Amino acid sequence: IRKLEMEQSLEMDEFARLIGTFDREDLEYAGERARTVRKMHYGNKVYIRGLVELTSYCRCGCHYCGIGSAVKSAERYRLDADQVLSCCENGYQLGFRTFVIQGGEDPHYSDGMLTDMIRRIKDSHPDCAVTLSLGERSRESYEKLFEAGADRYLLRHETADEEHYSRLHPAVQTLKERKRCLCDLKDIGFQVGTGFMVGSPWQTAECLAKDMLFMKSLDPEMVGIGPFIPHHETLLGNEKPGNVDLTLFMLALTRLMLPKALIPATTALGTLDQNGREKGMLHGANVVMPNLSPMDVRKKYLLYDNKAFTGSEAAESLSSLRKSMNETGFRVVVDRGDHIGTSVKR
Ligand code: SAM
């Protein structure tokens, strides 16, 4: 852990050994170092992002995901630009300065519809950042979205192990294409987020070591790491959920490897552990993404069973989030919360 902090990387076998054998003392030590490094770069600030779940239609069939095309019971909905704008307006009043537009891969949304939506958000709130998380698209499409004003893009690589990737996804979805998207997004100029689930079926310490090394080489501005949680109607519905301590350990190692990264304490972590968000902060996270979607669609964007969307997950409960963060030694701020190593040109 000390070597990782000093050199900001490890060899593959060192990562695998550390991840495969850590104990409570290692977790506490990594957490303490991650807190120190986070504090050095971001103080005790917690950045908030308002999450707008655009659509629950998805053409993909990821074997873990509750909105995958094969999940027959999933209720499908789409938001239009006016609805998204009104979520952002509500979020702005609550103190959000970043909006994350996330959804399944839904061909209904043409480049033109998305660029129009992005321009309208940026026109109404020029002091806000727009983050997209809409899956794999062509380079030309990403270029248009960037041109329209989108600042950031989240696309988890999910797992950097080819074999593991092919077990979690149908054959048409490949790790190579996922990486192509991430490279294009970086090259175009987005602040890019990637990441992975912890405890997905067949994941080994070696898979996680590969995730770390892939992220080191990509050098993303943001990293999303959350536990896998089964969804009863998917192929992996009977598998065990990921482990909270391993998730916290991976968050801490990521902070040590990428000291300036923006790292959320995810909703999935908050779903498995009622203090998950606070524990995430104590292990190096510095972002939370409360849900700003219209109330009636929140229960339709169910990526996994028992997904939290009330309480501190809800944007309306920001005051309770503020309070619990204060009690844990952190401070929710009204800020775009850009990556500190990136010069923002617009
Ligand atoms: N379609 C976009 C994409 O692929 O990036 C964004 C939406 S996708 C549902 C967002 C993330 O949810 C995925 O990157 C995945 O890691 C996570 N996710 C999906 N199913 C999950 C599950 N069962 N447990 C935990 N996380 C899950």
pLDDT digits (tens, 9 = 90+) for 211-234: 999 999 999 999 999 999 999 999
Q: Is 177 annotated as a binding residue?
A: no
pLDDT at 345: 59
Backbone angles phi, psi at 170, to 5 degrees: -65, 160
Query: Which residue's entry shows tokens 């991840």?
Result: 19
pLDDT at 313 over 90: no
> Is residue 138 situated within a structural domain?
yes
Pairing relation of β-strands 222-227 and 191-198? parallel
When pLDDT is cut at 50, 70 and 90, the band that residue 314 belongs to is: confident
Contact 165, 185 (CB under 8 A): no
pLDDT at 39: 98
Nearest CA to ligand 1 atom 3: 135
> Is residue 96 situated within a structural domain?
yes
> Which of 49, 64, 196 to mutate for ligand 1's pocket (most ligand atoms within 8 Å of CB)?
64
For residue 101, the one-letter residue type is I
How confident is the model over 106-155, as pLDDT tens digits? 999 999 999 999 999 999 999 999 999 999 999 999 999 999 999 999 99
> Is residue 215 situated within a structural domain?
yes
Pairing relation of β-strands 331-333 and 98-103? unpaired
Cα of 303 vs centre of ligand 1, distance in Å, is: 7
Atom of ligand 1 nearest to the CA of 196: 16
ipTM tops the 0.90 cut: yes
How confident is the model over 76-104, as pLDDT tens digits? 999 999 999 999 999 999 999 999 999 99
Average pLDDT over residues 5-9: 98
pLDDT at 311 over 80: no
Express the helix, strand and coil content of the chain in percent, nearest 5 each.
45, 15, 40
> Which of 153, 156, 196 to mutate for ligand 1's pocket (most ligand atoms within 8 Å of CB)?
156
pLDDT at 30: 98
Tell me the CA distances in angstroms from 24 to 30, 245, 247, 249, 320, one per residue in order: 10, 9, 13, 10, 29
> Is residue 8 situated within a structural domain?
yes
> Is residue 245 situated within a structural domain?
yes
Residue 324 to residue 336: CA distance in whole angstroms: 21
In the numeric block, which tokens belong to residue 106?
A: 């839904």
Q: Is 143 annotated as a binding residue?
A: no
> Is residue 342 situated within a structural domain?
no
Residue 237 to residue 222: CA distance in whole angstroms: 29
pLDDT at 343 over 80: no
Q: Is 62 annotated as a binding residue?
A: yes
Number of domains present in the structure of the chain: 1
Strands laid side by side in the 287-288 sheet:
287-288, 45-48, 331-333
Average pLDDT over residues 192-198: 98
Residue 36 to residue 325: CA distance in whole angstroms: 17
Residue 331 to residue 307: CA distance in whole angstroms: 25
pLDDT at 45 over 80: yes
Q: What is the pTM of this model?
A: 0.97
Q: Which three-class secondary structure state does DSSP give residue 211?
A: helix
pLDDT at 147: 98
Contact 316, 51 (CB under 8 A): no
> Is residue 17 situated within a structural domain?
yes
Q: What is the mean pLDDT of the chain?
A: 96
Cα of 69 vs centre of ligand 1, distance in Å, is: 13
Q: Which domain holds residue 89?
A: 2-333
How confident is the model over 249-303, as pLDDT tens digits? 999 999 999 999 999 999 999 999 999 999 999 999 999 999 999 999 999 999 9
Angle at which helix 24-42 crosses helix 244-257, to 10 degrees, equals 40
pLDDT at 315 over 70: yes
Cα of 212 vs centre of ligand 1, distance in Å, is: 19
**What residues contact 292, with CB distance under 8 A and at least 6 apart?**
50, 51, 52, 87, 88, 90, 91, 96, 99, 315
When pLDDT is cut at 50, 70 and 90, the band that residue 312 belongs to is: low
> Is residue 344 situated within a structural domain?
no
Query: Is the C-beta atom of 155 inside 6 A of ligand 1?
Result: yes
CATH number for the domain harbouring residue 160: 3.20.20.70
Average pLDDT over residues 38-48: 98
Contact 14, 213 (CB under 8 A): no
Residue 225 to residue 241: CA distance in whole angstroms: 14
